[in-house]
Structure 1
């Protein structure tokens, strides 16, 4: 079998396996805004966002590969990952916090999340969640405002 035929065969098998529900790592996005910079306000926003992601997606903490939170520079009262770590089943999930880059006239008081997890669900069936002021980031995907 030549290289082109092998690559074509591999691609077709991958495409067919995905259609049959083969487990893959998928990325799930979400974002929210916080009313003010306090541990309580940030914790409430992170919990609300993660609750909405779990209710609207087949998200099992045992299948999570990693979670990255980013926060705008005006939010520094608590790490979003510290809030997530308190959730049942999230004790062993690899979590990371980063600071969102500063861009002129960008959304303030915003927390974003990217969850990588194993699932047989296709990427286009996942439901990203954009809450409160963050709905303006992706109005095409926002299901809450």
Structure 2
């Protein structure tokens, strides 16, 4: 069965190292809490708000063992007035036997306000 695993986080600045570290943190938790192996992953879509352009957050996934061949794409979120700034969102499409209610979606830092029911 195919399921979507969501995650989001924020950074303090439009800084390459900060974007990569924040992405690695949230994706690492998504992997750990959902017991995801790279072979289960069909694709990962990462979006950033328009104020984050210092790095491609997809690069952070290459730090995980075995993730070299996982298809990853970055895009920019639509520029909605008063939206949460400096936000990185992840949609990971995985093959899993888990039911939707068993998926652990990960929301960190200021992104907790996006989905308080999933906040860490």
TM-score (ref. length: structure 2): 0.96
Equivalent in the alignment of 1:77:
54
Instruction: Choose between structure 1 and 2 for higher RCO, CA contacts under 8 A separated by at least 6 residues.
Output: 2
Q: Using the alignment, how far apart are the partners of 2:118 and 2:26 within structure 1?
A: 15
Once the 2 structures are TM-superposed, how far is the Cα of residue 118 of structure 1 from its aligned partner?
0.4
Q: Does 1:87 align with 2:56?
A: no
Q: Does 1:127 align with 2:107?
A: no
* CA deviation map 1:70-98 (0-9, x unaligned): 00011001101122123211100010100
Aligned ranges 1:91-130 → 2 under 5 Å? 91-130=68-107
Equivalent in the alignment of 2:17:
40
Q: Using the alignment, how far apart are the partners of 1:98 and 1:132 within structure 2?
A: 21
Structure 2 unaligned segments of length 5 or more: list them.
none
What RMSD in Å do the two structures reach over aligned CA positions?
0.8
Q: Using the alignment, how far apart are the partners of 2:88 and 2:71 within structure 1?
A: 18
Structure 1 unaligned segments of length 5 or more: list them.
1-23
Q: Using the alignment, how far apart are the partners of 1:125 and 1:83 within structure 2?
A: 26
Instruction: Find runs of 4+ consecutive structure 1 residues off by over 6 angstroms.
Output: none
Instruction: Figure out how many residues of one structure are paired with residues of the other and give that number.
Output: 120
TM-score (ref. length: structure 1): 0.80
Equivalent in the alignment of 2:38:
61
